[in-house]
Structure 1
């Protein structure tokens, strides 16, 4: 039997002399333990690892995807065992993990095909215990910390986001009705889908919590004759949104304010929040829904669009938390709805989007790869590798893991929205045809 075909248990015996007195190597022991974990983890494709000690390891049944990766840091196997997500991301950023065949997305796809095995790793169990112990500190976001967290991610150059986002700068999950849409088409469908659920009519006052670069707010004003107030804590986003509103002639109908949602004192017919709830933090759920309940008029409608998890409890990934979204927390649908119900509002509709964000992230990854050299001139090679890992690991988490997006519609009164969901598709069809949407109380054109 060739060296490459030797089982891992036989490999341990074959190299047993390395663990003899005077020849013991912690690095070799860690690599052997890592190999034992990978043997259980890799259930599809073929993964070849060239370890720091000069040995070659093969995992998986074979076929595609096929990936070869070289580990150049002797401490890396132990780090991967202790904190897989953090160590893998940092190793890719630092170049101590080099992919020599296949792609990063292939590697992540192979390694995330069995989430139960990942969760059973000793390091993951320890991380879970530490996260539970530090949950209050990790996911508590008072206003001052929220400002700092937003600046960390959103106050970097808008030029970076223009490299991979659609023309409207929609930095959230798109809506793929057929799966064949372009990114720009899918983002337009997302805005249309949300507008239908908001039951808009001319003259309504709308609050957009987490308005980003203003695309959704301006669409609601321009196509639905709403008066919109957008809130963001990002200096870059507010400046860009105000400039765009002025150039579009919408400044009289759209206002963008750098203000925390908890400081909002207005009254609104509609409240929408897209891609912002993930930054609230577990301890902030009641404040968030309490704010929605307070600012919504008696016959108001709210729509929450957010990333969630089907895991038994919410949380955050260590690498994402450190490098991308400090203070972030991905909730379960159950704990989100429980918080909404504590506010006294009705949950009037729930929709779960499963693979839509995976497709969105695939488009973002491909666009970023096409503009990588431009990104490197804006920042540096390590930043590019960080951003590549961010987009790829998030896509994999939606495609193979437990993440999804949910949209929750809320109202103060049970009679505010129609009895059935038919109005959503009918309103979207009218928007496509350019007709007046049906009256949501009678089903007839208003």
Structure 2
């Protein structure tokens, strides 16, 4: 037996929490675990041992992208089986984490990172997102809710938590394709500003504002939130944006929000969270979200408190994101005939792995999704109970 084969046989022995089969590049098939195999991993060729030892997430991610590895079965189930096994490589600290602080999050670099992901093209995202073009965790009031309804629920839920009143001002940091600011203006008659670094999103939001004749209430700017000067708001919301800020800029995010909020103003932060610091993944950082960083719950809680904010509410929506990603993954597969005309096979395999591995990660509890609600200064005008938040 060659050295590579011995290494792989030993690696696979304790990799998954569920029974599976592995077919090696020479045709040999080995069953691991007790019971009927739930999936099979086929190695078309060996991945260099040095790459696996150095950075297993990147090595296996690229292995699947470039067809060195094939998966027979449910990709989400395979990734989840890795996460459930506490001794697997996914639970080991990645050397990339040690290098994270060196990553730049300058205004220019932040714009480049955001455009790398979000400017792939509105036509691409339109194929697998819902009709609102909302690219963040939805809120399922019932298991039967469609993705479209769940995204409507999410926006309505956030706006209720913000306790909006007609005539107030609202800032959405990282406004996406504009569903939240447009809904806020139409439902509550507030004056809403959205900021984004994505030119594709900016174009779409501008078009929506004009089509719905909301120019008097809704505005969008193609700028970094740190560039906003001379304006303050009654409410500041950010959905799925702080993951792009970077560890070194987390405190700056909250201090900026504080400067943008009026006294007694309310802010809601909706974001992916972890339970350990240095939450990043080198494969996702290289191919999906350059410069991404998932902050720990405790990291954010401390920064909110040290910046002088008052906590109102903290809620986990982890399983809502699992369900959201499952919808996206199904939509993606159903749209493959069209996507194949737009993108090559490596891109398709990359996005398939991304959507399914994220769904697995949330379902396994490896990462979470939280909504933080807090105020600038004491706000005694809010209702005494949280029932006003309910849909």
* Match for residue 203 of structure 1 among 167, 188, 199: 167
Query: Does structure 2 retain, via aligned residues, the 8 Å contact 1:115–1:401?
Result: no
Equivalent in the alignment of 1:106: 77
Equivalent in the alignment of 2:28: 55
* Match for residue 260 of structure 1 among 221, 224, 230: 224
The 5-angstrom pairing of residues 71-90 of structure 1 reads 71-76=43-48, 79-90=51-62
Query: Does structure 1 retain, via aligned residues, the 8 Å contact 2:172–2:238?
Result: yes
Unaligned runs of 5+ in 2: none
SS, match of residue 151 in structure 2: helix
The 5-angstrom pairing of residues 176-187 of structure 1 reads 176-187=140-151
- Once the two structures are TM-superposed, the CA of residue 339 in structure 1 deviates from its matched residue by 1.1
Equivalent in the alignment of 1:30: 7
Q: Report whether the alignment pairs 1:171 with 2:135.
A: yes
Q: Structure 2 CA distance, aligned partners of 1:76 and 1:374?
A: 35
Q: Over residues 66-97 of structure 1, what are the superposed CA-to-partner deviations in whole Å (9 max), with x where a residue is unaligned?
A: 21221012235654444222122111111111
Query: Does structure 1 retain, via aligned residues, the 8 Å contact 2:15–2:87?
Result: no
The 5-angstrom pairing of residues 329-408 of structure 1 reads 329-408=293-372
Q: For the structure 1 residues 63 and 185, does the alpha-carbon distance in structure 2 shift closer, same or farther, using more than 3 Å as the test?
A: farther
Q: Report whether the alignment pairs 1:243 with 2:207.
A: yes
Q: Over residues 136-179 of structure 1, what are the superposed CA-to-partner deviations in whole Å (9 max), with x where a residue is unaligned?
A: 113x4121110110110011111110111110011000011232
Q: For the structure 1 residues 388 and 151, does the alpha-carbon distance in structure 2 shift closer, same or farther, using more than 3 Å as the test?
A: same
Q: For the structure 1 residues 149 and 170, does the alpha-carbon distance in structure 2 shift closer, same or farther, using more than 3 Å as the test?
A: same
Q: Report whether the alignment pairs 1:43 with 2:7.
A: no
How many residues align structurally? Answer: 389
Q: For the structure 1 residues 293 and 348, does the alpha-carbon distance in structure 2 shift closer, same or farther, using more than 3 Å as the test?
A: same
Query: Does structure 2 retain, via aligned residues, the 8 Å contact 1:348–1:414?
Result: no
Equivalent in the alignment of 1:295: 260
Q: Structure 1 CA distance, aligned partners of 2:329 and 2:48?
A: 26
Query: Does structure 1 retain, via aligned residues, the 8 Å contact 2:279–2:293?
Result: yes
Q: For the structure 1 residues 281 and 109, does the alpha-carbon distance in structure 2 shift closer, same or farther, using more than 3 Å as the test?
A: same
Query: Using CA pairs below 8 Å that are at least 6 residues apart, which structure has the higher relative contact order?
Result: 2
- Once the two structures are TM-superposed, the CA of residue 305 in structure 1 deviates from its matched residue by 0.4
SS, match of residue 199 in structure 1: coil
- Once the two structures are TM-superposed, the CA of residue 337 in structure 1 deviates from its matched residue by 1.3
Query: Does structure 2 retain, via aligned residues, the 8 Å contact 1:27–1:78?
Result: no
The 5-angstrom pairing of residues 139-158 of structure 1 reads 140-158=104-122
- Once the two structures are TM-superposed, the CA of residue 414 in structure 1 deviates from its matched residue by 2.4
Equivalent in the alignment of 1:432: none
Q: Structure 1 CA distance, aligned partners of 2:218 and 2:86?
A: 44
Q: What is the root-mean-square deviation of aligned Cα atoms in Å? A: 1.7
Q: Structure 2 CA distance, aligned partners of 1:42 and 1:295?
A: 48
* Match for residue 94 of structure 1 among 47, 54, 66: 66
Q: Structure 1 CA distance, aligned partners of 2:25 and 2:132?
A: 46
* Match for residue 320 of structure 1 among 277, 284, 301: 284
Equivalent in the alignment of 2:249: 284
Query: Does structure 2 retain, via aligned residues, the 8 Å contact 1:43–1:61?
Result: no
Query: Does structure 2 retain, via aligned residues, the 8 Å contact 1:71–1:98?
Result: yes
TM-score between the two structures when normalised by the length of structure 1 = 0.84
Unaligned runs of 5+ in 1: 1-17, 19-24, 429-446
* Match for residue 194 of structure 1 among 149, 158, 163: 158
Query: Does structure 2 retain, via aligned residues, the 8 Å contact 1:34–1:77?
Result: no
- Once the two structures are TM-superposed, the CA of residue 119 in structure 1 deviates from its matched residue by 4.8
Q: Structure 2 CA distance, aligned partners of 1:405 and 1:236?
A: 26
* Match for residue 271 of structure 1 among 216, 232, 236: 236
